[in-house]
């Protein structure tokens, strides 16, 4: 469902796309980073491939992923991107720069919006700080814990409950 947090996230992501950048939602687990990217893609008619990153990834796997994404016009959401080793991230920055340049030099003079997004949980053990050349390719999106009471209220009203506001407060206290 669409909440004010979702709207702010979508606005930041769409403005990043207009600037030919990716977006980097970051925040604690459970804040809707990946879901917001997927839902925006769905709303815009774009298939969004979610790829869970780990410290075992190498640049060749990501190169194949970026090739497929750029050829098909789909979006890629690289979940927990900051788990990848710094050496691999340096190569990924170069790969993404090449893709961005190619999109800008498209033959039909209408560059295809390259939809590569990364989600991060900063502060967790084993996470890597992104290099500056990679940071500049993504617009940061700060995510926070959603208003669960508002979400419950919208769910209850959509199901036909007339006292959704009061019930939502009680439900969030209960759960």
Q: How confident is the model at residue 125 (pLDDT cuts 50, 70, 90)?
A: confident
Q: CA 31, CA 87: separation in Å to the nearest integer?
A: 29
> What value does the mean pLDDT take over residues 116-130?
84
* pLDDT surpassing 80 at residue 71: yes
Residue 83: enclosing H or E segment and its boundaries? none
- Residue ranges of the alpha helices (H) in 105-163? 132-135, 148-158
- Domain ranges in the chain with CATH number 3.40.50.300: 4-144
CATH number of the domain at 4-144, please? 3.40.50.300
Q: What's the alpha-carbon Rg for the chain, to the nearest Å? A: 18
Q: How confident is the model at residue 136 (pLDDT cuts 50, 70, 90)?
A: very high
Which residues contact residue 112 at a Cβ distance below 8 angstroms, ignoring those fewer than 6 apart?
70, 73, 103, 106
Mean pLDDT of the chain: 88
> What value does the mean pLDDT take over residues 13-19?
92
Q: How confident is the model at residue 72 (pLDDT cuts 50, 70, 90)?
A: confident
Structure confidence at residue 80 (pLDDT): 92
């Amino acid at each position: 469902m669409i909440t004010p947090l979702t709207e702010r996230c979508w606005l930041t992501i769409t403005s990043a796309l207009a600037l030919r950048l990716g977006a980097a939602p970051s925040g604690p687990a459970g804040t809707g980073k990946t879901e917001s990217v997927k839902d925006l893609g769905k709303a815009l008619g774009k298939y969004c491939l979610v790829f869970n990153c780990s410290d075992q990834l190498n640049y060749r796997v990501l190169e194949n992923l970026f090739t497929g994404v750029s050829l098909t016009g789909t979006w890629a959401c690289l979940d927990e991107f900051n788990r990848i080793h710094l050496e691999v991230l340096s190569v990924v920055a170069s790969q993404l720069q090449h893709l961005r340049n190619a999109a800008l030099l498209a033959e039909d003079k209408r560059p295809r919006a390259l939809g590569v997004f990364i989600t991060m949980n900063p502060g967790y053990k084993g996470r890597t700080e992104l290099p500056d050349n990679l940071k500049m390719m993504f617009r940061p999106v700060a995510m926070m814990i959603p208003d669960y009471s508002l979400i419950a209220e919208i769910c209850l009203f959509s199901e036909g409950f007339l006292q959704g506001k009061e019930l939502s407060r009680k439900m969030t206290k209960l759960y």
